[in-house]
Amino acid sequence: MSWWGWDRLVEAMVFFPQAEHWARPERFGLTCQEEWIPTADGQRLHAWWLPAPGSDTVLLFCHGNAGNISHRLPNLKLLHDLGLSVLIFDYRGYGLSSGRIDEQGFFRDAAAAYQAAAAHARQQRARLVVFGRSLGGVAAVRVAAEQPVAGVILESTFTNLADMARHHFPLLSRLGPLAGRLEALAWVDRIRAPILFLHGDRDQVVPLELGRRLYQAATAPKQWVTITGAGHNDTIEVGGEQYLSHLRRFIASLPPPPGMEGP
């Protein structure tokens, strides 16, 4: 198999984009501004900007590998109700975004979304926190390793694709090279901002041990939270108010936005 063919096979087993939107933010009582974010290689990413009046925090939401931004609306509602302004975007090939998803594009898209979120944070005089869920946590790690952020939230995030393949597809892991693919473990120690890790102890998609390895490799101020009884897709439902309180406390512990420091 050619290198190109191997890459396409691997990426087809990782990314599951869906074009059709499930719902609109207005259905959840959210005020939304449509945005189109240009990437360095000429793609246009569709995004929703959900401002919270008076918020001192902008959250950049990097979602997981399936669906599109509309499938995160219940989560977005909870985050917005915490008083956070949120920018969520679709990777290329997802939802209304142009192009076709691949690994390089995945990271380019996260970098472009960071620039858009940082512009909102400057305009709002707010701090910028990057949130990554599952595969989106790999994007969040790369962004936070390369750009200034106030904090990082990683939920149900894994170390790298090779570790995931050994767990789920042992045959695939022997067929071709996976080292360095969708890599978070080698980047997480470059993050200087505080990191909150959240992981369900019944996660059968991303094993708890991979989340713990990523946590152990981080050198920034960090906190680990095990959500007892939660799998991969029900951390919020199972965690409930306790889950939300961890987010509140973490964000409240971060340094104030530029220009709003105390005496």
Enumerate the β-bridge partners of residue 198.
155, 225
Residue (of 112, 121, 140, 152) closest to 58 by Cα position: 121
Residue 137 to residues 31, 59, 181, 187, 188: CA-CA distances in angstroms?
26, 13, 14, 12, 10
Quickly tell me which residue has 């569709």 as its tokens.
Answer: 46
Instruction: Tell me the residue type at 31.
Output: T
Ramachandran sector of residue 66 (left: φ over 0; alpha: ψ -120 to 50; beta: rest) = beta
Amino acid at 221: P
Determine how β-strand 33-38 pairs with β-strand 66-67.
Answer: unpaired
Is 134 known to be catalytic? yes
Sheet with strand 44-50: strands edge to edge: 33-38, 44-50, 85-89, 57-62, 127-133, 151-155, 195-200, 222-227
Q: Is 234 a catalytic residue?
A: no
- To the query of whether residue 246 is one of the catalytic residues in this protein, the response is no
What residue has token string 């095990």?
Answer: 226
Spot the catalytic one: 55, 85, 97, 134: 134
Interatomic CA distance for residues 162 and 36, integer angstroms: 33
Residues 6+ apart with CB under 8 A from 247: 79, 82, 153, 196
136: enclosing H helix or E strand: helix 135-146
The size of the chain, in residues, is 263
Q: Which residues are catalytic?
A: 134, 203, 232
